[in-house]
Structure 1
């Protein structure tokens, strides 16, 4: 009897791999960027983030009351490069 190969487990999303590569190439870790932005947005709840590997940017999502703000930050510097309107 031949045993079937065993799956190694779930694969990380492609964006996560790219983000990790970008940090190795000089970018800042997401957790560091998130912590800085949490401190600079008092009164907001941090909801999460997405990574755009082509642009090297993170989109951070914050909420205060019923309004949600998306802040786009550069993955190398952590500085704001854009902001989506509140909804």
Structure 2
């Protein structure tokens, strides 16, 4: 059992390292960040820090894992872990309002 757990952890670590070093993944993340920043500077979205603060308050102590931005809809999808389950929260980038939840 211990050996299997160690192999699983090592395998996940190797996958994470490959993704982190993959230029295509990094380029995609950079493009997403650039799109989010342009939308904020153009007045199409609120600053992400304000949106995250609103969603954090609604999540009641859940652990924040990350976010994605969809420039075509100006929506953010924030990822959390709460009570051992992953929860995705969609927020409108213009208003900061929560528009949906998924588990």
TM range (shorter): 0.7 to 0.9
How far, CA to CA, are the matches of 2:100 and 2:53 in structure 1? 18
> Where does residue 29 of structure 1 map in the other structure?
47
Structure 1, unmatched stretches of 5+, are 1-9
> Where does residue 70 of structure 1 map in the other structure?
88
Between Structure 1 and Structure 2, the one with more helix by share is: 2
Residue 63 of structure 1: CA displacement? 0.9
Residue 65 of structure 1: CA displacement? 2.4
Once the two structures are superposed, residues 48-73 of structure 1 have per-residue CA deviations (whole angstroms, 9 ceiling, x without a partner) of: 11111111110011111221110111
> Where does residue 7 of structure 1 map in the other structure?
none
Between Structure 1 and Structure 2, the one with more strand by share is: 1
Runs of 4+ deviating beyond 4 Å = none
Residue 43 of structure 1: CA displacement? 2.9
> Where does residue 3 of structure 1 map in the other structure?
none
The TM-score normalised by the length of structure 1 is 0.76
Residue 13 of structure 1: CA displacement? 1.0
The TM-score normalised by the length of structure 2 is 0.65
What secondary structure does 1:16 align onto? Answer: helix
Structure 2, unmatched stretches of 5+, are 1-25
